[in-house]
Amino acid sequence: MKATLISKEKNVAKFTMEFTAEEFENAVVSVYKVQKDKFTIDGFRKGKAPRSIIEKQYGESVFFEDAINNLFSLHYPLALDELDLDVIDYPRSEFSPVTKGEGFTVTITVDCYPEFEVKDYKGVEIETITKEVTDEDVENELQNRAKRNSRMVAVERPAQEGDTVLIDYEGWSEGVQFPGGTAERQPLKLGSGTFIPGFEEQLVGVSVGESKDVVVTFPEQYHSEDLAGKDATFKCTVHEIKEEQIPEIDDEFVKDISEFDTIDELKADIRAGLEKAAADRAETEMKNSVLEKVYNANEIEIHEVMIEDEITNMMNEFDQQLRAQGMDINTYFQYIGKTPAEFRDEVREDAYKKTKTRMIVTAVAEQEKFEASEEDIDAEIANMAQAYGLEADKIKEMLGAQNIAMLAGDIKVRKAVDFMYDSAVKK
């Protein structure tokens, strides 16, 4: 295959791929060997008919399309690499006449990644951001740790808000017990807002062993159309009431939950952690400020397909988040009454900003000739291995060459952001 660049103007490249008669013939032979079992020819066992017989019966071009597709799929990426073209969209192709025993030419037009120079990314002026950690912040974190180490204890008193009750219930509406409205020994934290509005409040004051009819009205936007807006009665029985008991914060508590012996030691450690987190947040905000200024200082032509691809990525990420919560994006759209097209329109501006920002940072990395060294990649993989509790070699094997290349790209991008931030003038 011979690749020849015809032109490259305004981020649109045009080039040809020329295939010889021999290359085309070899491709046809390969297709024949793969597909010959599919043909039934009188006088021949299945898969044993010669190519010439098949071509005589079905036409000499019977294997052409697949042969051409195979050649294109194999050589198109090679041509892009040879011609140093970074494309962002599917190619538009024109084929010369294809004849048995002859070569052919493909003329390809494709949109390329915009080439541009980033300006004004060094010495950006930003405001210095500091975030203070107060004694109250430390105390709140200490209280949070105590809550995380709380335990649920059964009590012999009427239920209060904040208690967790264990209940049986049956749901009735218009004198009929409705599907999905029945449960046994269902835990419910009163005041959590988990159940239908008005349900939990009516169980306050109920004791263990008591039953109560809880009367509610389903929301107008309830997911079940049969129940939406209707009154219902839940016949409830309370089996158990538990309250949250938070341990007393003293030296013994500190010894139980940490490597420290005293409250003062734990508070000092908490403060150090909060100060580190605060400093990180401040640095992130300042980096974002740098990126925003560089973003506003540069006008870039962005192909629509890049924005559409970013929107698709955003939707896929959102779908993954929903699936982790037991929902998918299609169900979510049905629930909120929106179409995928409406959602895409809503996130379009954000997708544009993400695309432009990524293009700017990537271009800075190229202009400054940042590279991801083997040491950089190994350090990143080591961190991943530690996070997942796996060997580094196992992580590398799982990632594969393509994902490692993407990881290298991410490292270069971070270096570019750090470079812009380090060179910024902080007032």
From 65, 153, 57, 134, select the one nearest 104 (Cα to Cα). Answer: 65
Stretch 202-214: mean pLDDT = 96
Distance (Å, whole) CA 21 – CA 23 = 6
From 231, 236, 172, select the one nearest 204 (Cα to Cα). Answer: 236
Distance (Å, whole) CA 188 – CA 417 = 47
- pLDDT tens-place string over residues 375-395: 999 999 999 999 989 899 899
- pLDDT tens-place string over residues 99-142: 999 999 999 999 998 888 999 999 999 999 999 999 999 999 99
**DSSP states of 361-423:** HHHHHHHTT----HHHHHHHHHHHHHHHT--HHHHHHHHHHHHHHHHHHHHHHHHHHHHHHHT
CATH number for region 2-111: 3.30.70.1050
Distance (Å, whole) CA 110 – CA 14 = 7
Note the pLDDT of residue 119: 95
150: which strand partners?
Answer: none
Domain coordinates in residue numbering, the chain: 2-111, 151-245, 279-426
Distance (Å, whole) CA 89 – CA 351 = 17
| Token pair recorded at residue 292 | 């925003």
- pLDDT tens-place string over residues 273-285: 999 999 999 999 9
**DSSP states of 63-100:** THHHHHHHHHHHHHHHHHHHHT--B-SPPEEEE----T
Superfamily of the domain at 279-426: Trigger factor, C-terminal domain (1.10.3120.10)
340-367 and 329-336 helices, crossing angle to 10°: 130
The domain 151-245 is placed in CATH, from the list 3.10.50.40, 3.40.50.720, 3.40.50.2300, 1.20.120.160, at: 3.10.50.40
294: left (phi over 0), alpha (psi -120 to 50) or beta: alpha
Place of tokens 């009590």: 155
- pLDDT tens-place string over residues 38-94: 888 888 888 888 999 999 999 999 999 999 999 999 999 999 999 999 898 889 999
- pLDDT tens-place string over residues 286-319: 999 999 999 999 999 898 899 999 999 999 999 9
| Summary mean pLDDT of the chain | 93
Note the pLDDT of residue 91: 92
